[in-house]
Amino acid sequence: MSPALADIHPEDTQLEENEERTMIDPTSRDDPKFKELVKVLLNWINDVLVEERIIVKQLEEDLYDGQVLQKLLEKLAGCKLNVTEVTQSEIGQKQKLQTVLEAVHDLLRPRGWALRWSVDSIHGKNLVAILHLLVSLAMHFRAPIRLPEHVTVQVVVVRKREGLLHSSHISEELTTATEMMMGRFERDAFDTLFDHAPDKLSVVKKFADGVYLVLLMGLLEDYFVPLHNFYLTPESFDQKVHNVSFAFELMLDGGLKKPKARPEDVVNLDLKSTLRVLYNLFTKYKNVE
């Protein structure tokens, strides 16, 4: 036993020969950004599954058997998976996980995501693998949440060789910049525009707090927007998100398609997302006098 293994739990010493186990370094678990990532994902899952009366308290303990992941994917994708609802056996749990993860892979593979999880890692309560999976799902389904950027953890890898435990440390990047993560999903004409004229687009930042978007919808649809429905001088991030979300609702009411951008992207000064919103408005109302 080396000093580096001092924090390993007793069950982790019962590895078979050449078996490997990974765990997050305790110092990384205490990192504020890591804690924030876990909290945001937990709250998101519980919000999505509120009608199912499911409350997730600990990711690795509540998601490993596939039951919650099944419900989460069905709710997000609007589908029904052909799996046994409740199963207690390890074989049954892994079969359910296999079905759920295959459905996830069918969604994510075309988008170019690196699939950094497996049935064994999820069922083995590998928190890093579970977080990789949840971050991918959140980004794919454009979850209305704000993931902390550049979250990296130190992972301890323990392997048993010749009866002795050997450890090593690796870094795992759980999130990057929001723009980079969203960029894995789409490149279109707006990307080309940004490649060639990024310095000429700062004007759209004035829409970041949502006020102009709300007032603009009122002007385009010819109605007065009651001031109690939005924050005229928003101060917090949440107030700005409220404004942009409200503007999106007005767009839907006006017959526009649901914006691809998330309200959080607009508030975070994501120019590409903001331009997409404005272009949709221009397309619909360009002939309005």
Instruction: With beta carbons less than 8 A apart as the criterion, state whether 126 and 61 touch.
Output: no
Q: Indicate which CATH number applies to the domain containing 208.
A: 1.10.418.10
Q: Quick one: 179 and 221 in the same domain?
A: no
Terminal alpha carbon distance of the chain: 78
Q: Are both 179 and 271 inside the same structural domain?
A: no
Under DSSP, is residue 203 helix (H, G, I), strand (E, B) or coil? helix
Q: Where do we find the tokens 């990307």?
A: 191
Can you give the pLDDT at residue 7? 46
Asked whether residue 150 carries a pLDDT value surpassing 50, the answer given is yes
* In contact, 138 and 130? CB cutoff 8 Å: no
Q: Inform me whether the pLDDT recorded for 5 exceeds 70.
A: no
Assess whether 107 and 196 both reside in one domain. no
pLDDT (average), residues 114-127? 91
pLDDT band at residue 107 under the 50/70/90 scheme: confident
Domain that holds residue 233: 189-284
Bridge partner residues of 165 (DSSP): 160
Please write the tens of the pLDDT for every residue from 69-100. 999 999 998 889 988 777 778 999 999 999 99
Question: Is 163 inside any structural domain?
Answer: no
Per-residue pLDDT at 193 exceeds 70: no
CA distance 210 to 101: 37
State whether 64 and 91 are in the same domain. Answer: yes
Band (pLDDT 50/70/90 cuts) for residue 35 is very high
Look at residue 215 and give its three-state secondary structure: helix
Task: Let me know whether 98 and 54 are in one domain.
Answer: yes
Are 40 and 179 in a shared domain?
A: yes
Residue 111's pLDDT band (boundaries 50, 70, 90)?
low
**Partner residues linked to 153 by β-bridges:** 172
* 269 in a structural domain: yes
**What does the pLDDT read at residue 112?**
67
CA distance 185 to 287: 32
Is residue 193 located within the same domain as residue 278?
Answer: yes
Count of structural domains within the chain: 2
Percent of the chain at pLDDT exceeding 70: 84
In this structure, are 125 and 195 located in the same domain?
no
Q: Pick the residue with more confidence: 24 or 186?
A: 24
For 209-250, how does the pLDDT look when each residue is reduced to its tens digit (9 = 90+)? 999 999 999 999 999 999 999 999 999 989 999 999 999 999
152: helix, coil or strand? Answer: strand
pLDDT of res. 158 = 87
Residues 36 and 64 reside in one and the same domain: yes
Report CA 213 to chain centroid distance, whole Å.
25
Model pLDDT for residues 155-178, shown as the tens digit of each residue:
998 888 888 888 888 999 999 876
Which of residues 6 and 19 earns the better pLDDT score?
Answer: 19
Which of 55-69, 88-102, 227-241, 257-271 comes out lowest in average pLDDT?
257-271
CA dist 65 and 122 (Å) reads: 8
Mean pLDDT of 250-261: 87
pTM for the structure as a whole: 0.63
124 and 59 share one domain: yes
Q: Is residue 81 part of a domain?
A: yes
Whole-number pLDDT of residue 195: 54
Q: Enumerate the β-bridge partners of residue 21.
A: 158
